[in-house]
Chains A and B, each alone.
Chain A
């Protein structure tokens, strides 16, 4: 997804690093990475370390300057308009399929604004109006109440238990992570991926149910550029 933009901006001093938030690790991410053949570093984050910086959904971008200082905290990052924004409802779609396609089309995606801001920063560096001061980066980063920090511990236990083959116990901890941090979509969707096609009956919910409950406008919040 990022190769084109990387080819454009790498000669001007930008490196892109893509990180797969996949508890199932290499096996899950490999087909995608091998298909994309990225020239940039492409890493795997099985334990969702990036969630601790405030990542709650994907794709999320974080800008880091030459000195290793974050100049924009996590925010939704699309390099171009994704195909789901223009997807047609198939003629043979079930009512549920139709609802899913229609809801997905409503998700907020601001690829043009995001890429314009990124180009501006690559050109102007700290003088770019999109490069935030350290205080502003901290101010804009997500609060971490004790419930969300506890959800992190439950997610870690869930992942470890899943690896140990303790599926039932793992699911209990994933459920608890979802309950304590309902707006963290990476906890939900990764746990569902681990559960497989039966995830809806195991967790008693679906992506569609959860997006509707949290509000489609909150799934990808508007960029505050």
Chain B
């Protein structure tokens, strides 16, 4: 997840990571992690990184920051498929959740 500033708003954080700032901390689904913040308009990515175990890597020369996924557990924290939305060749967005009611074989391939 790419950021152009080391500080984000709560809305930007939620859009990028799915973690929502609530009175009880950072929450996603039923899980909440304690998180103290002075202002919801200026959340330090380094604080998010520490609280959630998401590695933060900076590229100062291009003023870019990237958060990796949560570490220390399994790639799949639960068996529920995350709500993935990806474009087709024409750029139309397709939500995997639109296939509920059918069995799905999701296949990753590549041109390389």
A interface residue numbers (CB < 8 A to B) = 1-2, 13-22, 24, 26, 28-34, 41-45, 49-50, 52-55, 58-71, 73-74, 77, 118, 121-122, 125, 134-135, 137-139, 141-146, 148-154, 156-157, 160-161, 164, 166, 169, 173, 186, 189-190, 192-193
Interface residues on B, range: 35 or more
> Which residues of B approach A to under 8 Å, CB–CB?
1-2, 53-57, 59, 61-62, 64, 66-82, 84, 86-89, 91, 94, 96-97, 99-112
Contact B73 A137 (CB under 8 A): no
A28 contacts B81, CB within 8 Å? no
Closest to A55 in B: B108
Set B62, B78, B100, B106: member contacting A62, Cβ < 8 A = B106
A73-B76, A122-B103, A142-B75 provided; 7 other pairs, C-beta below 8 A?
A2-B107, A43-B86, A54-B74, A60-B108, A74-B108, A152-B55, A192-B112
Q: Are B67 and A63 in contact (CB under 8 A)?
A: no
Most A-side CB within 10 Å, residue of B55, B56, B82: B55
Q: Are A190 and B110 in contact (CB under 8 A)?
A: yes
Tell me the nearest residue of chain B to A12, going by C-beta. B103
A153 and B67 within 8 A (CB): yes
Chain A residues contacting B75 (CB-CB under 8 Å) are 52-54, 73-74, 141-144
Q: Which of A20, A42, A152, A161 contacts B68 (CB 8 A)?
A: A152
Interface pairs (21), CB distance under 8 Å: A14-B104, A15-B102, A17-B96, A29-B89, A50-B84, A58-B110, A59-B108, A63-B104, A64-B96, A64-B99, A65-B103, A68-B100, A70-B81, A74-B75, A77-B107, A143-B75, A146-B53, A149-B71, A153-B56, A156-B66, A193-B111
For residue B98, give the distance in angstroms from its CB to the closest CB of chain A.
9
* CB contact under 8 A between A141 and B74, given known A28-B111, A41-B94, A193-B111: yes
CA distance A6 to B38 in the complex (A): 53
**Whole-angstrom distance from the CB of B15 to the nearest CB of chain A?**
14
Contact of A19 among B56, B106, B111 (CB under 8 A): B106
A144 lies within 8 A of B88 (CB):
no
Whether the pair B57, A154 counts as a contact (CB closer than 8 A) is yes
| Known pairs A45-B108, A55-B108, A144-B74; A161 contacts B102 (CB<8 A) | no
Which residue of A54, A73, A150 is within 8 Å of B57 (Cβ)? A150
Q: B99 touches which one: A17, A146, A153, A193 (CB < 8 A)?
A: A17
Known: A42-B88, A157-B2. A17 touches B107 (CB 8 A): yes
Distance in Å: Cβ of A58 to nearest Cβ of chain B: 5
Name the one of B59, B79, B89, B101 contacting A138, with C-beta atoms under 8 angstroms.
B79
The one of A20, A69, A146, A186 in contact with B55, judged by C-beta atoms closer than 8 angstroms, is A146
- Which residue in A49, A61, A121 is a CB contact (below 8 Å) of B107? A61
